[in-house]
Amino acid sequence: MEILVVGLNHSTAPVSIRERITFPGNESGDVARLMTLVEGVEEAIILSTCNRGEVIAMTGEPEGTAENIASTIAHLHNLEPDAIREFLYFKNGPDAVRHVFRVASSLDSMVLGEPQILGQVKEGYRRAARAGATGPILNRLLHRAFFTAKRVRSETGVGKAAVSVAYAAVKLAKKILGDLRDKRILLIGAGEMAELSARHLNTQLEEPIVVVNRSYENACTLARSLCGKAMPMEHMETGLVGADVVITSTGSCEPIITRNYFKKVMRQRRSRPIFIIDIALPRDVEPEVNDIDGVYLYNIDDLQGVVEENLGGRREEAGRAENIVAEEVIKFIEWTRTLDVAPTIVALKEKLEKIREGELSRLNGKLSSLGPEEREAVEIITRSIINKIAHDPIVFLKKVGSLSKTRFYLDTAQRLFKLGGAQDETSNGVEEPYHE
């Protein structure tokens, strides 16, 4: 049994690739459940955010299963496996556990310490669990990941004054335009990232923010909370004509602003410059829009430079956070090894108890003259004897270091005590050698 992670993120793939690996249709956990049908996958979770798309799986055969998952990811997105292979990472065993813990703790994010990722990991887990795609191993893994993230938040300063992607978008707007007070801001989208952007902006503006969204009701709700204005999606063109800065973050699978569409907008603007910050994934704005005179388009990868300027102090805390992750990885790996030894421990206890009960039953006639208190004393003494006999072997098995030695000692224990039908000799009567 091993944890396996196959995926890509902001470090391994550009936005043009990441926007194509989004696992559409996984809102109900259907894709996670589909992954459990892939050969070698026993449990699965899909994690899909603006900066990563990955599969967390439990498998007994990491190598072959990793290739099967990579091919399935490509197939789900109508891509050839070779088109994404160079961008994928493959992690298994302790490396995979460490990766999951670091992701949940926001140590693997484009924005170190950003708070949104933990909620996204929880949501991915919730969907997979609800769809029946997880089991005891991934359930334990994710709960320990959440615990690790909580420790990192409470014991280090990694998340203090967190710089989110939304915050970076606002910083970029200020870097480009300077004072934003008299600028007209159009916000396209009313989701979490759009709302965060708007709240960062709102304290710096004199003009009300205009919110456009497919759901006019949601646009109105966000606009009211910002003392701004709402506009239905069909009037987006009007909003674009009047805006100085556009921040867009919708959940659309296709660009909502194309080059031809925006050429029409710019004619109405008389080519007055406009700055567009597209933090959606997949992107809301066609890259070719940036070729139009007067348009300055930035996407989520362009925020990296802004983020770097704000991370100095937090990197010092990251070392402490990595130590916490390392501690929790060791604890989880130790727990997984107890799963390997548990059946042998249970079988040993059951065999010793069966021997005890058999001997008491055989001596039942001789013990018949004993009173209730004396019989209870015999029960206590005999149970104590078998517990003491079992104690040292059980403690030893739980503390065995490497996986290969664990298997050796499990086999030895099963042969010594003849557990689970194990034979202590080979068919030719010669003890089978152990090769580590």
Q: Do residues 190 and 216 lie in contact, with contact meaning Cβ atoms separated by under 8 Å?
A: no
- What is the distance of C-alpha 229 from the center of its chain? 36
Which stretches of 116-213 are assigned E, i.e. beta strand? 185-188, 210-213
Instruction: Find, among 234, 128, 114, 235, the residue nearest to 166 by Cα.
Output: 114
- Specify whether the CB–CB gap between 40 and 59 falls below 8 A: yes
Task: Quote the DSSP letter at residue 208.
Answer: P
Buried b (16+ CB within 10 A) or exposed e, 105-120: bbbbbbbbbbebbbeb
Q: Which residue has the tokens 């708070």?
A: 115
Whether the Cβ atoms of residue 392 and residue 351 lie closer than 8 Å to each other: no
CA-derived radius of gyration, the chain: 30
Which secondary-structure segment (H or E) carries 274? strand 274-278
Per the CB < 8 A criterion, the answer to whether 249 and 188 are in contact is yes
Quote the CA–CA distance of 195 and 249 in Å, as a whole number.
Answer: 9
Q: Report the candidate in 5, 69, 61 with the shortest Cα–Cα distance to residue 34.
A: 69
d(CA 158, CA 311): 9
Closest CA to 147 of 109, 101, 106, 93: 101
Please give the span between the terminal C-alpha atoms of the chain, in angstroms, as a whole number: 19
220 tagged catalytic:
no
Burial letters 326-344, b for 16+ CB under 10 A, else e? eebbeebeeebbeeebeeb
> SS3 for 89?
strand
Rounded Cα gap, residues 348 and 418, in angstroms: 9
Set 50, 220, 227, 253: catalytic member: 50
User: Which are the catalytic amino acids?
Assistant: 50
